[in-house]
């Protein structure tokens, strides 16, 4: 199965700062990667699919890029509502797999 | 209101059984694939099963294959997960989630329920 490794595990930033999250796949997943946001006690929310497409209603400050094995989620200017855990997920190979998550916390 | 609502989570002993339900409303249930995804306490997400628009389209993660059975009742707008031979490592919040693409498969999940907690412990 494809192993997705997210880094860093924790990112400590202040509101207004830029967040850069990484997801590395153990083998190529082409562009078939998504990003989800999960706040404490809530279900995940789809942010980005197919590497760079924003899901419905997702603010433009969220952007995704990458292909093959290396992917990046950027939050251009952190809002208070953005402090959460972010997961990547691939759909190129079966079974579907998720990364271990990156927690974006307030510094 | 467009939503998925899980129920049926409980405390169960190892080797026991449990049946989870996922009630769907606000969209054409028959058009969508539905998956179950779980999250162990303090851990990441694990996809465990999906069901297509008809009951003969199903698959399972190796970790639950042979022990869990997914089904759906389109008349009741519901998906079920029958969980048998439960183990301590099955302890998790179980979410049902809708595939992003109607009448197709994107294998991304754009609508999730709030989850139901299953605890397997003696």
Query: In Å, how far is B51's CA from the nearest CA of chain A?
Result: 14
Give tens-digit pLDDT for A35-64. Answer: 999 998 899 999 999 999 999 999 999 999
Higher pLDDT, A87 or B74: A87
- Selected residue of B47, B108, B116 to mutate for chain A interface (largest A Cβ count, 10 A): B108
Per-residue confidence band for B56, with pLDDT thresholds at 50, 70 and 90: confident
Beta carbon pairs, A and B, within 8 Å: 47
Per-residue confidence band for A103, with pLDDT thresholds at 50, 70 and 90: very high
- pLDDT in the model for residue B55: 72
Q: What is the mean pLDDT of residues B86-105?
A: 93
Q: What is the mean pLDDT of residues B90-113?
A: 93
**Which residues from B are below 8 Å from A95, CB to CB?**
47, 61-62
Per-residue confidence band for B74, with pLDDT thresholds at 50, 70 and 90: confident
Kindly determine whether residue B108 and residue A91, on different chains, have CB atoms separated by under 8 Å.
yes
> Over chain B, what is the mean pLDDT?
94
Instruction: Kindly give, in sequence order, each residue whose CB lies less than 8 Å from that of residue B6, ignoring residues fewer than 6 positions away.
Output: B20, B21, B22, B94, B95, B96, B113, B114, B115, B116
């Amino acid at each position: 199965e494809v192993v997705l490794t997210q880094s860093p595990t924790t990112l400590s930033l202040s509101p207004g700062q830029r967040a850069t999250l990484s997801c590395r796949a153990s083998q190529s997943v082409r562009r078939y990667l998504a990003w989800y946001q999960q706040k404490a006690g809530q279900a995940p929310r789809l942010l980005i699919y197919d590497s760079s497409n924003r899901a419905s209603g997702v603010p433009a400050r969220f952007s995704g890029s990458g292909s093959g094995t290396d992917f990046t989620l950027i939050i251009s200017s952190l809002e208070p509502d953005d402090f959460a855990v972010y997961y990547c997920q691939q759909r190129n190979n079966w079974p579907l797999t998720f990364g271990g998550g990156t927690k974006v916390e307030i510094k | 209101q467009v939503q998925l609502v899980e129920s049926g989570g409980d405390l169960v002993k190892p080797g026991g059984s449990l049946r989870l339900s996922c009630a769907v409303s606000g969209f054409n249930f028959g058009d969508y694939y539905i998956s179950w995804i779980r999250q162990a306490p303090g851990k990441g997400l694990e996809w465990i099963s999906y069901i297509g628009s008809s009951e003969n389209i199903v698959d399972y993660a190796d970790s639950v294959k042979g022990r869990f059975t997914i089904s759906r009742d389109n008349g009741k707008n519901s998906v079920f997960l029958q969980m048998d031979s439960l183990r301590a490592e099955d302890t998790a919040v179980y979410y049902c989630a809708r595939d992003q693409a109607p009448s197709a498969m994107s294998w991304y999940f754009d609508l999730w329920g709030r989850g139901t907690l299953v605890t397997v412990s003696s």
